[in-house]
Amino acid sequence: MRSSLTPLGPPVSRDRIITCFPKWYTPEACLQLKEHFHGQVSVACQRRNTGTVGLRLSKVVVLGDLYVGKTSLIHRFCKNAFDRDYKATIGVDFEIERFEIAGIPYSLQIWDTAGQEKFKCIASAYYRGAQVIITAFDLSDMQTLEHTRQWLEDALRENEPGSCFVFLVGTKKDLLSGAACEQVEAEAVRLAKEMQAEYWSVSAKTGENVKAFFSRVASLAFEQSVLQDLERRSSARLQVGDGDLIRMEGSPTETQESKKASILGCC
Ligand SMILES: Nc1nc2c(ncn2[C@@H]2O[C@H](COP(=O)(O)OP(=O)(O)OP(=O)(O)O)[C@@H](O)[C@H]2O)c(=O)[nH]1
Ligand SMILES: [Mg+2]
């Protein structure tokens, strides 16, 4: 089935248009060491055969200790602004960021969670259904790096095993000298490998690596969404096998889900 998706609302801004697969920060701790979109994904995009991918929101959750700079990172990316004053996040907040990737509209829903212990149970209710988990720590505070392991564990518990891309992000890069940064990075890369996460160092203050980081997040999530959609549609297609197996359009779960949705009056 071909779809001709037209983006909803105004066109995406030029700096949200991604045509080439963005590169990793360091090859030592990266999720994929390749420089192009998957062949099947490129073909699907050229034919505009990406199913419902362009109409869905992919969920990204940002976690980590209080004061590490989660809100600042998201604000730098979404609003291109930086606030020196600390305003603790209460519970959760989110931003929707629209992209155009390989010609296909794509959106991330970026959830900003509170690092303060007293809000943890509110925030953790939003971990479920994440396609991307970003665990953030402050490059100038090693304790916050140690705590990322626990944050990740909490988030993974709410999601299907192997279903999320994990990123480990060191913030406030501007506060460290080159040599000091390298030292912390070496430790962070080691932990990232253990977590099976991709590592990035960023600064919300100067904006260093912020756009490149979110472009990478969006592209990996987009590629996975397209591949999953292709897979889902190919297994749902009418199949007449060697024996007398006949599978009908739409998987059983899909049919049940659409029934549920109509009972609930969803569109
Ligand atoms: N120098 C510098 N300061 C930063 C950077 N990012 C954040 N900050 C400062 O660090 C403080 C905390 O930043 P927030 O973004 O509010 O931290 P948070 O992780 O969202 O904190 P909670 O919402 O309490 O979990 C603020 O005073 C920011 O201005 C950065 O890249 N460089
Ligand atoms: Mg915050």
Q: Which domain holds residue 76?
A: 58-234
The yes-or-no verdict on residue 21 having pLDDT over 70 is yes
Query: Residue 140: nearest ligand to its CA?
Result: 1
How sure is the predictor about 253, in pLDDT bands with cuts at 50, 70 and 90?
Answer: very low
Closest CA to 173 of 203, 143, 142, 136: 203
Judge whether 210 lies within some domain.
yes
Judge whether 116 lies within some domain.
yes
The count of other CB atoms within 10 Å of the CB of residue 251 is 14
Judge whether 80 lies within some domain.
yes
Mutation test of ligand 1: which of 61, 63, 71 has the most ligand atoms closer than 8 Å to its C-beta?
71
Tell me the β-bridge partners of 132: 60, 165
Interface predicted TM-score (ipTM) of this complex, two decimals = 0.99
Strand segments (E) across the chain = 17-18, 57-63, 92-101, 104-113, 132-138, 165-171, 198-201, 239-240, 246-247
The count of other CB atoms within 10 Å of the CB of residue 241 is 8
Burial 31-44 (b: 16+ CB within 10 A, else e): beeeeebbeebeeb
The yes-or-no verdict on residue 6 having pLDDT over 70 is no
What DSSP character marks residue 242? S
The yes-or-no verdict on residue 243 having pLDDT over 80 is no
Q: What is the model's pLDDT at position 264?
A: 34
Tokens of 17: 């248009």
Closest CA to 136 of 99, 107, 111, 161: 111
The yes-or-no verdict on residue 62 having pLDDT over 50 is yes
The pLDDT of 59-71, averaged and rounded, is 98
Q: What is the model's pLDDT at position 8?
A: 56
How sure is the predictor about 55, in pLDDT bands with cuts at 50, 70 and 90?
Answer: confident
pLDDT averaged over every residue in the chain: 88
The yes-or-no verdict on residue 10 having pLDDT over 90 is no
Each residue's pLDDT tens digit, 153-188: 999 999 999 999 999 999 999 999 999 999 999 999
Q: What is the model's pLDDT at position 9?
A: 66
What distance in angstroms lies between residue 111's CA and the mean position of ligand 2's atoms? 10
Q: What is the model's pLDDT at position 234?
A: 84
The pLDDT of 64-83, averaged and rounded, is 98
Judge whether 19 lies within some domain.
no
How sure is the predictor about 146, in pLDDT bands with cuts at 50, 70 and 90?
Answer: very high
What distance in angstroms lies between residue 9's CA and the mean position of ligand 1's atoms? 32
CATH of the domain at 207: 3.40.50.300
The yes-or-no verdict on residue 230 having pLDDT over 80 is yes
Q: How many domains does the chain have?
A: 1
| Cα distance between residue 69 and residue 64, in whole Å | 9
Query: Residue 85: nearest ligand to its CA?
Result: 1
Of residues 237 and 206, more confidence is placed in: 206
Residues with CB under 6 A from ligand 1: 66-72, 83-86, 88-89, 114-116, 171-172, 174-175, 203-205
| Cα distance between residue 249 and residue 12, in whole Å | 34
Each residue's pLDDT tens digit, 87-121: 999 999 999 999 999 999 999 999 999 999 999 98
Q: What is the model's pLDDT at position 54?
A: 84
